[in-house]
Structure 1
């Protein structure tokens, strides 16, 4: 059966692995390659790696780091950061990466989504939409350049445009929830799930497996991504790479979707 994906999201800053809170105050938590090795051992469903410096600084993707990550990774790998051309995307795919993530470049140059889709295939094109709720409002705006610039775009309308242009997946990333570990913005996730037909992944806010279960229960087969949940442990947030076991994932999916374990394990 099609099943939800539980996806660690790793942020790279100055070549180190960091975790942010509301896109600010990056805290060093370790080495990206070592983290990938641990997630390999824990049989992670998938992995997202985002270089949060590249697009802001206008520099090329770090192809050496990407190559090292891809060589080590034994799960589907999505990489984002600094990708501004279809040629760059094609080169990254050639290094062994399964998916290309673009954010600011997709908003500033929407045709890039079509160009990359034509070059590497729709299934490998992921558009990351960073969102923030307006003050004293129920509306959201899309931000780019690592949360520094408000585009005043509506995230749901932008997601629909990206789907039409050739995106194969949307990652909805909440700036407000980032690093807070207080739960996903489930209401916004539901709106996105209803608006597009392509796969979606929700990022920002997960503080427990129960938060993932709540998201899956509300939205069905989606990607549930998290950063802090998988790099911190305990109330004092000691750095410890962790990830649910296969049995824990199966039980979570069964509860969330109202299925029995036998159904979840059907191939």
Structure 2
């Protein structure tokens, strides 16, 4: 049986954050995720998880002010202290809510800094984060996001994500692979899954174009699921899509996909 996680930054956004846990459970999800849950006290999040029986499967380190264009700091030479501070705080929060995987965003490439310097900074920061996470039994996740989704993002290519995991050489560093971002960058997600399934800890899905519910676009989910199953993927499939309308009203696809009926 496929395991689905509700990305409650996108889903159920019509209601307050702490109410989304119960809504996700009613909607048929076994787990939730959120890139920036910090506005909610961890004790309150932990209580919601206990009451609903949900698992919090992945969250993000603090990634800065999105209104100012900040998308993380791991690759930014002038924000090393900011990144390293975010690691301790993020892991503390994750530990308090029982989350075992934390995504570290790389940041938007600054003008006038060459790629090699950004790469070296990224590897040094991610090695530190991975070692800190390992000491708590946690993973650090890398999610490539192409230029069609996030212009000038440093970790902008699936192959670069693979290169980073391999360069870091740590068992607790793995990928979030996003089928929408890959498709939006002109990449077929199915061959990537077949080639690199062992490096993928977590999947994200949304249809393309539009980034709405699966079944509203052109992604071949039957082929994607077949690739996941053939390669032995056992992680969660995170639903990181923009509901076309009310979240609950748009969940009809979930039962069909869980049962293996995608068309």
> TM-score, normalization: structure 1?
0.59
Shift of 1:34: 1.8
Q: Are 1:72 and 2:34 matched, yes or no?
A: no
Unaligned runs of 5+ in 1: 12-17, 20-27, 52-60, 135-142, 257-267
Matches of 1:204 and 1:249, distance apart in 2: 12
Shift of 1:158: 2.2
In the alignment, which residue of structure 1 is the partner of 2:153? 149
In the alignment, which residue of structure 2 is the partner of 1:120? 136
Pairing partner for 1:238 from 223, 245, 257: 245
Aligned residues: 207
Are 1:173 and 1:203, in contact at CA under 8 Å, matched by a contact in 2? yes
In the alignment, which residue of structure 1 is the partner of 2:73? none
In the alignment, which residue of structure 2 is the partner of 1:7? 5
Pairing partner for 1:228 from 238, 241, 255: 241
Are 2:147 and 2:156, in contact at CA under 8 Å, matched by a contact in 1? no
Are 2:190 and 2:223, in contact at CA under 8 Å, matched by a contact in 1? no
In the alignment, which residue of structure 1 is the partner of 2:172? 167
Matches of 1:128 and 1:151, distance apart in 2: 8
Residues 244 and 120 of structure 1: CA distance in aligned 2, closer, same or farther (over 3 Å): farther
Q: Are 1:82 and 2:62 matched, yes or no?
A: yes
| Post-superposition CA distance 1:151-187 (Å, at most 9, x none) | 566232223345x223254212367469x8xxx9873
Q: Are 1:92 and 2:97 matched, yes or no?
A: no
Alignment of 1:193-232 (within 5 A): 193-195=194-196, 197-206=198-207, 207-208=213-214, 212-220=221-229, 221=233, 223-228=236-241, 232=243
Are 2:214 and 2:253, in contact at CA under 8 Å, matched by a contact in 1? no
Matches of 2:254 and 2:171, distance apart in 1: 33
Matches of 2:140 and 2:90, distance apart in 1: 11
Are 2:61 and 2:103, in contact at CA under 8 Å, matched by a contact in 1? yes
Higher share of residues assigned strand: 1
Unaligned runs of 5+ in 2: 64-82, 107-120, 208-212
Shift of 1:251: 1.9
Matches of 1:82 and 1:125, distance apart in 2: 16
Matches of 1:186 and 1:200, distance apart in 2: 19
Are 2:182 and 2:189, in contact at CA under 8 Å, matched by a contact in 1? no
In the alignment, which residue of structure 2 is the partner of 1:131? 145
| Post-superposition CA distance 1:200-259 (Å, at most 9, x none) | 323243332685443211222353222336xx2xxxx2222354699645521xx68xxx
Matches of 1:5 and 1:147, distance apart in 2: 31
Shift of 1:72: 0.6
Aligned-pair Cα RMSD in Å: 4.0
> TM-score, normalization: structure 2?
0.60
Are 1:47 and 1:76, in contact at CA under 8 Å, matched by a contact in 2? yes
Higher share of residues assigned helix: 2
